Amino acid sequence: MDTKELLKKVRKIEIKTRRLSDHIFGGEYHSTFKGRGMTFSEVRQYQFGDDVRNIDWNVTARYSEPFVKVFEEERELTMMLMVDVSGSELFGTVEQFKNEIVTEIAATLAFSATQNNDKIGLILFSDKVELYIPPKKGRSHVLRIIRELIEFQPESKRTNIAEALKFLSNVMKKKAIVFVLSDFIADDYQQTMKIVSGKHDVTGIRVYDKREEEILNLGMVQMEDEETGELMLVNTSSKKIRLNYGKYYQEKVNYYKDSFTKSGAGTIDCRVDESYVKKMLGYFKRRG
C-alpha cells in the first residue's frame, strides 16, 4: 500500500470513528471507566447545598466564615489495546473482514480515551508480540496506532493469547483499562487471564463472521487454514463433519466466555455484519 492510499484510509477511519467517539462513546466511556479516585482541588466559600463534611475547619476558623474543600476526579487513565493480527482475522464473507472491524473498534476506543485525556497503548500479537507501542496521549499518537492497524504485516499467522497477556503483565505495572480484540479461536489462556484481570480492568471483544459458526453443505470443497496455510479437501456434505466443526467452534466460544467471566472480565460479541456501536454502547451502559 502506497503512502497516499494509506493516508486516505487512515483519514476515512478517523472521520468515522471520531464522530462515534465524540457523539456517542465519549460520555459513556467516561462514566464507565472512572479515575483512580478524588483529589483535592481548592478551597472556596461555603454555598447553600454544599456537603458539611467537606468544610475545612482550619480555614473556617481563620476567616470566621465557612469554607469547603473542593475535590475533583483524578481522571487520567491508561488504555491498552491488545489486537490479534493472526491469519484468522483476514476473513469475511459479508462487507468487511474481521480485521477491518477490529481496526474501527480500536480507533473508536482510542479516540474516546483521548477525549478524556487518557493515554493509549497498543499491542499487536499473533503467537508472539509482533509490535508494542507504549501508552501516550494525543491525536497524532492515535493516528499512528490506526496506521499500524491498517498496514502492519505480522511475521506469524498463528495465535497465542496467553503469550500476549504475559507481555502485558510485564510492561504494565500500574492498573490499566485493557481491551483484547480477537476472534478467540484459541485456548490455554484462562489461567493467564485470571492473573491479568486481578490487576487490570479487562474486556474481551470477540469479532466474528457468521460463516465461521458452521460449515454449509456445498459438497467437496478445498479449504485453507489461515493460520497454518494447510490445504485440505473437505466433504461438506458429510453431516458428521459439519457437526464436529460446529462442536469445535462452539467449544472455543464457550472457553472464551468462561475464561473472561471466571476472571471477572467483561465480554462483547461483535458479528461483522451487525452494529458494533449498539453492542459497545449496551456494554458501557450496563457497566456505568
For residue 233, what pLDDT is reported? 85
Q: Pinpoint the residues of the chain covered by CATH 3.40.50.410.
A: 3-32+76-210+262-287
For residue 247, what pLDDT is reported? 93
Q: How far is CA 11 from the centre of its chain?
A: 21
State if pTM tops 0.85.
no
Model confidence pLDDT, tens digit, residues 113-139: 888 888 999 999 999 999 999 999 988
Question: Residue 72: is its pLDDT beyond 60?
Answer: no
CA distance 255 to 159: 15
Give the mean pLDDT of the chain.
86
Q: How far is CA 200 from the centre of its chain?
A: 13
Strands (E), the chain: 37-45, 67-74, 78-84, 119-125, 129-136, 177-182, 201-208, 220-224, 231-235, 266-271
Q: Which residues pair with 72 in a beta bridge?
A: 39
CA distance 271 to 280: 12
Question: Residue 94: is its pLDDT beyond 70?
Answer: no
Q: Which helix (H) or strand (E) holds 243?
A: helix 239-262
pLDDT (average), residues 245-266: 95
Query: Are 212 and 98 spatial neighbours (Cβ–Cβ below 8 Å)?
Result: no
23 — pLDDT class (breaks 50, 70, 90): low
pLDDT (average), residues 191-206: 96
For residue 19, what pLDDT is reported? 76
Q: Which residues contact 140 (CB under 8 A, 6 or more apart)?
A: none
Question: Residue 39: is its pLDDT beyond 90?
Answer: no
pLDDT (average), residues 172-179: 92
**Of 26-35, 95-104, 223-232, 266-275, the least confident:** 26-35
Helix, strand, or coil here: 55?
strand
For residue 20, what pLDDT is reported? 76
Fold for the domain defined by 3-32+76-210+262-287: Rossmann fold (3.40.50)
**Of 23-37, 138-152, 203-217, the least confident:** 23-37
Question: Residue 174: is its pLDDT beyond 60?
Answer: yes
Query: Are 167 and 123 spatial neighbours (Cβ–Cβ below 8 Å)?
Result: yes
Is the dihedral angle over the CA atoms 285, 83, 165, 267 positive or is it negative?
Answer: positive
Closest among 274, 279, 77, 98 to 181, alpha carbons compared? 98
Model confidence pLDDT, tens digit, residues 98-112: 999 999 999 999 998
Helix, strand, or coil here: 256?
helix
Question: Residue 33: is its pLDDT beyond 90?
Answer: no
